[in-house]
Amino acid sequence: MESLETINALIAKAEEAKLIGLDFVKGLDKTVVQDSYNGIGPEFLGADKRAKVTEHLYLFAPAALVHDLRNEFSDGTRYSFEYANDEFLQNCRKLADRAYAWYNPRRYRARAVAQLLYVAVSAEKFGWRAWLEAKARHEQKMAAKTK
């Protein structure tokens, strides 16, 4: 679990980049955001591997924060899954464009990485599985609260 300081820094970067979906994140309690953000990668990847991936792809961490919260509140529908993934791609592209000027080749490399991340989160084997698992976890949390 990331510190509240890290969460606040990611939210600030997301605000600076005017990421889509940030209003959704800001409407949630910070502890919910803190509990839901797991870095870059699905839960089943494991904390150690996600930490390494996040370290290497930190540029996209603010987009991953928004995406993780979309997953946390997954409704299990294909429509919401596709919306969350499209939003993630747009946010990653914004972060890449913000980090590198149009004439810098790294901008286009970062955009290519953003596209690869989108393919991963959209894939049946990884993204859809994580989306459905997130829905099941959310339902379990809600059921536990009503007991």
Q: Can you give the pTM of this predicted structure?
A: 0.92
pLDDT tens for each residue of 45-71: 888 999 999 999 999 999 999 999 999
Domain count within the chain: 1
How many angstroms separate the CA atoms of 63 and 54, rounded?
Answer: 11
How does residue 108 score in pLDDT terms, banded at 50, 70 and 90? very high
* pLDDT > 80? residue 44: no
How many angstroms separate the CA atoms of 22 and 57, rounded?
Answer: 20
Domain range for 133:
4-146
Structure tokens at 81: 């899954």
Q: Which residues contact 14 (CB under 8 A, 6 or more apart)?
A: 22, 25, 62, 63, 65, 66, 91
Judged by phi (left if over 0) then psi (alpha if -120 to 50, else beta), residue 40 lies in beta
> For residue 88, what pLDDT is reported?
98
> For residue 46, what pLDDT is reported?
87
How many angstroms separate the CA atoms of 64 and 124, rounded?
Answer: 18
